[in-house]
Structure 1
Amino acid sequence: MKRVYLLVITLFLLSLNMSAQKVYSVEYANQANVKVFVVDYENQADLKVFKVKYQNQAVKNEGRWFFTDYANQADKKIFFVKYANQADLKIYFVKYANQAGWINQSKLHLMY
């Protein structure tokens, strides 16, 4: 019985370390987990995002996003808003993977 509890606790702790970096862009704000605004300048962003080509490259909560084709494949559903004050998270798309990462650590929880 102790082994079952230990297994359940271990699986739970491992799931906490998993991150939501597979995203799907929804059509309506009420379908989204996170509302996102794309800023013009890096210093305005909470998160610098790099779009990866393959799903297995989108690991950890480091700003490497894989855009899925279907909502049920995504860890988070996002909606791109028109104005910065409507957003939960402000992002800036970078050209290289090593540039991706969090600027505003207080928003980190949004993508878990």
Structure 2
Amino acid sequence: MKSFYLFLALFFFFSVSVKAQKVFSVNYQNQADVKVYVAKYENQADLKVFKLKYTNQVGQNDGKWFFTDYQNQANKTLFFVDYENQADLKIFFVSYENQAGWRNNSKRHLMY
């Protein structure tokens, strides 16, 4: 029975410590935690994002996102806006994992 409680405690600890890199795109702005604009150029972005293929690759708040199939699997919900001035966060999708990261650290709190 002790091992069950230990497992439960560890599971809770690790599930809480995930840094919101599992994301889900919602259809309505009022459902979103963060409003996101996809910039046309890298130098316009607050965050350079790399799309992960597998959920087990998710790490810290470092710009490596895994898009979940269901909203309840995500740590953050996103709504993609059409105009830059509507966004909380501006991102740019990169082609390689090592290019991902924050360009504007003052917005980092949005993805915790």
Unaligned residue ranges in structure 2 (runs of 5+): 1-8
**DSSP-derived class of the 2:59 partner:** coil
Within 1, Cα distance between the matches of 2:51 and 2:84?
21
**DSSP-derived class of the 1:106 partner:** helix
Give the alignment's TM-score, normalised by structure 1: 0.85
Within 2, Cα distance between the matches of 1:60 and 1:98?
14
Residue 4 of structure 1 is matched in structure 2 by none
| 1:66-105 equivalent positions in 2, closer than 5 A | 66-105=66-105
Following TM superposition, by how much is the alpha carbon of 1:48 offset from its aligned partner in structure 2, in angstroms? 0.1
Within 1, Cα distance between the matches of 2:74 and 2:63?
15
Residue 33 of structure 1 is matched in structure 2 by 33
**DSSP-derived class of the 2:43 partner:** helix
Within 1, Cα distance between the matches of 2:21 and 2:47?
12
Residue 110 of structure 1 is matched in structure 2 by 110
Following TM superposition, by how much is the alpha carbon of 1:58 offset from its aligned partner in structure 2, in angstroms? 1.4
Give the alignment's TM-score, normalised by structure 2: 0.85
Deviations 1:17-67 (A, max 9, x none): 530000000000000000000000000000000000000111100000000
Q: How many residues align?
A: 101
| 1:3-82 equivalent positions in 2, closer than 5 A | 15=16, 17-82=17-82
Within 1, Cα distance between the matches of 2:18 and 2:80?
24
Deviations 1:83-107 (A, max 9, x none): 0000000000000000000000000
* Identity score, percent: 67
